A and B are shown apart, each in its own frame.
Chain A
C-alpha cells in the first residue's frame, strides 16, 4: 500500500502549470513550451476495485455536478452510461473464466484515458476547445467549445458527452485543477482500497509492475498493464488481471487507435478539400481571362425578333 494520502495544504497556491505548458491546442498551433512537465498518470488497478463507487461520488462532489436519479436497468452500472455530469462510471461485467469455470466480477472504472495522441483533439474544429498539457492531461476548455460533437467521433474510447444545458462537451479532466496545485484526482483521494493511484507516469508503471508480479504469483498468468500504444500510451492506465483480452472488461478496446476515417477527414482531407475548391475558383478566373464574357450579339436579337415575327 501507499501510505495514506495526507490532507492537502489549504493555503492558496499558484497553479504549477497552465496555458504556457500546452503541447497541443485543437484547430490551432501553440509555440513549443519552454519546459517539459513530468508526465503524470492515474493507475486503476481493476483487481483491487471493490465497486463501491466512491470515485463516482467524489467526482460529482469535486466537480459540483448532480446526476439525475435514473432507472435500474438490471445491472449495477449507475448511471447506465457516462453523461455530461457523470465523468466516470463503474462498469460491471460478470465473466465466466473458461479456464477455471468460475465467475469473475470485473469492475472497470470508465472515463477519459488522456491519450498521448488524443483523437478528440485531432477531430475538434474549434480553436482551443481541447488542449493537451506537457504532463499528458487532455482538457476541454468550455468557453471555446461549440458543441459540434466531433470529439465523440474522434475518441477511440467513446468518452465525451455533450451537455444539453450549455451545449458543450464534457469528460474527465484528470482533475487538472487539483493536479495544478499538487493534489491527486478526487477519485483517487476517495478510493478506499487504493485501487486508484496517481503519480508520475514512471512511478505508476513501476507500481503496476509490482502489482502484476503479485497477480501472476496468484495464478493470473496474463495479468498486465493497459497502456495502449495505438494512441501513444495513455495517462490513465489499468492493471488488468486478463490483459490479453481487454474487451471482456465492458468492451475496453483491445487495440485502440484513432480511426483512419477521422485521420483522413481531419488530416489530408481538409487540405484536399480546400485545394479542390481553390482550384475550381482559379479555373473559373482563368477561363474568364482567356474567353471573356459570352455576350448575346445584336445578330442574335435580330434572329429572335425575326423568329417571333414569322409566327405572327
Chain B
C-alpha cells in the first residue's frame, strides 16, 4: 500500500509498532461498517444515489440493513474510543499545531511544526468529531427506526412524537454529511501522508515516518525500547 518505491528508496532499518492486531481488526470493522452505512444512507438521502441500493440487493434490503450496520458501528467504535481516547486528550502543542495549520497541510512543512506525540491536532479533531457524530447518529438514527422504536416502547416505554422524528431525520442527515466529510479528511490524510496506511495494514510504521510526523512519539518509543531494528529492507 505504501508508496516507498519512489526514488530514492530509503533503506528502512527501523520499524515502530503503532497498532496491535486487535486494534487493527477493530479499526477495519469500523471502516467497513462505516463505508456500508455511508453507501446505504446516501442512497436514501438523494434520489440520484438510490441506485446504490443495488449493492445491497435492493431498496428494501438497504433500508433493513442500515440500522443494524449502525449498531455494529456504534459497538465497534466504542472499542476504538476506549483504546484511543486517552491518547487524544488535547494539549498545548495542539494549539501551536493548529495555528500553523498552513504548514501542516504542505508537504515538507513539518519543520515549522512542534514535535507531536502519537496524534497531532488534526488527528485528534477527526477522533473527537467522529466520536461525537457517531453518538448523534446513533441517537437520531434510533429515533427514525420504526423497529427500534417499537422495541424500545415495548421494553422501556420510550415513545416519541412525529415532530421529534422529523427533527431526528434532519439531525441524522446533517450529522451524516458531516461525518462523511470528516471521513474524507481522514482517508485523504492517510493517503497523502505516505507510509501511514502501513500502520493499519501492518501495525507498524517506519522510523522515518515517526521522525517526520510524530517525533515526540518516536522518541518515547525509542526510549521504551519499543522499536524493531533490522539490516536491509524489511
Contact = CB atoms under 8 A, between A and B. Distances in A.
B225 A311 contact: yes
B114 interface: no
Contacts of B76: none
B194 A297 contact: no
B72 interface: no
Contacts of B193: 294
Nearest to B38: A277
B206 A153 contact: no
B170 A125 contact: no
Interface stretch (B7-15, B91-99, B115-123, B127-135): B7-15
Contacts of A1: none
Contact of A259 (B53, B163, B177): B163
Interface in B111-170: 144, 146, 162-163, 165-167, 169-170
A73 interface: no
Contacts of B167: 261
Contact of B208 (A144, A291, A304): A304
Given A277-B180, A293-B192, A125 B10 contact: no
Contacts of A311: 222-223, 225
A264 B170 contact: yes
Nearest to A149: B146
A112 to B, nearest CB: 15
Interface string A264-302: 110001101110110011001001100111111111111
Contact of A276 (B60, B181, B222): B181
A301 B64 contact: no
A156 to B, nearest CB: 9
A153 B166 CA distance: 6
Contacts of B63: 146-148
Contacts of B58: 146
A155 to B, nearest CB: 8
Given A287-B192, A296-B206, A300-B10, A273 B173 contact: yes
Interface stretch (B23-31, B40-48, B81-89): B40-48
Contacts, number: 168
B210 interface: yes
Classify chain A: how many residues form its interface, as a range: 35 or more
B229 interface: yes
Contacts of A281: 184
Contacts of B8: 298
A296 B208 contact: yes
B166 A261 contact: yes
Contacts of A272: 177
B211 A300 contact: yes
20 contacts: A125-B44, A126-B50, A126-B59, A150-B169, A153-B144, A162-B146, A273-B177, A280-B184, A280-B185, A281-B184, A284-B185, A293-B194, A296-B4, A296-B195, A296-B209, A296-B212, A301-B206, A301-B207, A301-B208, A308-B13
Interface string B1-21: 001101010111110000000
B227 interface: yes
A272 B45 CA distance: 11
- Minimum-distance CB pairs A-B, first 4: A304-B207, A301-B208, A300-B208, A146-B59
Contacts of B53: 146
Contact of B60 (A125, A167, A291, A294): A167
Given A277-B180, A307-B211, A291 B206 contact: no
Given A284-B184, A296-B194, A149 B144 contact: yes
B219 interface: yes
Given A272-B177, A294-B107, 4 more contacts: A127-B47, A277-B180, A295-B195, A311-B225
B46 A298 contact: no
A27 B208 CA distance: 52
Contacts of A284: 184-185, 188
Given A149-B144, A280-B184, A296-B194, A304 B60 contact: no
B37 interface: no
